[in-house]
């Protein structure tokens, strides 16, 4: 099974050379980390990341902060949790097997781990339909391929259901199947959508605070109480729940910016955050 790219040429460049150039632009942009990742000594243990999934010209520099930190790790498996924007497929969809293709090559699905996750998590199904046109997971892959080539297995999980019980079940099942493995969990989300910048920043700061505190229930409560149009709150909550089970000690904001910061002033913006969860 080959999952073809759905948003190449739209959210990111559709040709290899141009895409590599864009990724380097993300790292060196004024809102990026200011340098390219390079192989080096192993750093702190990264258990989870929060990473945005808009077009690279808007959110790529923010995403680059998380991937720069991840460059010091060598995960054998990357789990990407993303929200379901299309309404297709089952409530929690684990891509079963095969490869995902981008302009940078193919990423192998860790089919054994994907199957184990679906068996461990009662609300999850092995389902490729939800993934066909969904961008939230896809846009993370070129950053990972830029770092690791094809030297990792992928577990792709698309969440249409984002309630507390689902987040808990997915997170706890992930912890069970990942314990003892060299793995990182990437939760793909954007924050406030299409509100004035000052209001977006104020709302998003409250969600970011809960993530830094590793308070997955508090995040869900804050999103509801503050009416934050964060599209991937369930994936982030599930990631935090899993990381707590796996020994997480710290959440850290690496970068926050809006589409207006990166692409120029606009009356309404989208908020983007890059955060790390470490052991």
Task: Tell me the pLDDT tens digit for each residue of 101-143.
Answer: 999 999 999 999 999 999 999 999 999 999 999 999 999 999 9
Over residues 186-224, the pLDDT tens digits come to 999 999 999 999 999 999 999 999 999 999 999 999 999
Specify whether the CB–CB gap between 62 and 71 falls below 8 A: no
165-191 CB burial, b ≥16 within 10 A, e <16: ebbbbbbbbbbebbeeeebbbbbbbbb
- Which segments of the chain have a pLDDT < 70? 40-42
pLDDT at 20: 98
User: Which of 82, 95, 30 has its CA nearest to residue 53?
Assistant: 82
| Cα–Cα distance measured from residue 66 to residue 106, given in angstroms and rounded to the nearest whole number | 22
- Name 34's Cβ contacts closer than 8 Å, sequence gap at least 6: 27, 28
**pLDDT at residue 41, rounded to an integer:** 65
Q: Which helix (H) or strand (E) holds 83?
A: strand 77-83
Q: How many Å apart are CA 239 and CA 81, to the nearest integer?
A: 8
Whether the CB-CB separation of 189 and 83 falls below 8 Å is answered with yes
Tell me, what's the pLDDT at 110?
A: 98
Instruction: Find residue 84's DSSP bridge partners.
Output: none
Give the distance from CA 194 to its chain's centroid.
20
Predicted structure pTM score:
0.97
- Which has the closest alpha carbon to 32: 58, 1, 53, 63? 63
Report the pLDDT value the prediction gives residue 43, as an integer from 0 to 100: 75
The domains located in the chain, with CATH, are 2-261+269-278 (3.40.830.10)
């Amino acid at each position: 099974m080959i999952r073809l790219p759905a948003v190449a040429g739209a959210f990111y460049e559709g040709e290899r050379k141009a895409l590599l150039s864009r990724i380097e632009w993300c790292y060196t942009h004024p809102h990026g980390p200011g340098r390219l990742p390079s192989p080096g000594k192993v750093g702190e243990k990264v258990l989870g990341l929060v990473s945005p999934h808009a077009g690279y010209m808007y959110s790529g520099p923010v995403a680059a902060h998380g991937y720069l930190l991840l460059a010091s790790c060598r995960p054998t498996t990357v789990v990407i949790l993303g929200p379901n924007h299309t309404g297709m497929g089952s409530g929690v969809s684990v891509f079963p097997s095969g490869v995902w293709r981008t302009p940078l090559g193919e990423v192998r699905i860790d089919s054994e781990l994907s199957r184990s996750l679906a068996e461990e998590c009662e609300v999850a199904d092995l389902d490729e339909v939800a993934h066909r046109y969904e961008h939230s997971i896809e846009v993370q892959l070129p950053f990972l391929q830029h770092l690791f080539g094809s030297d990792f297995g992928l577990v792709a999980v698309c969440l249409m259901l984002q309630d507390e019980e689902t987040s808990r079940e997915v997170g706890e099942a992930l912890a069970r199947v990942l314990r003892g493995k060299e793995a990182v969990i990437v939760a793909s989300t954007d924050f406030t959508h299409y509100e004035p910048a000052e209001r977006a920043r104020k709302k998003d700061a409250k969600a970011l605070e809960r993530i830094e505190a590793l308070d997955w229930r508090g995040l869900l409560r804050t999103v509801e109480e503050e009416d934050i149009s964060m599209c991937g709150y369930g994936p982030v909550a599930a990631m935090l729940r899993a990381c707590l089970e796996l020994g997480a000690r710290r959440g850290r904001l690496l970068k926050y910016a809006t589409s207006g910061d990166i692409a120029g002033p606009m009356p309404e913006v989208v908020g983007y955050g890059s955060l790390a969860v470490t052991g």
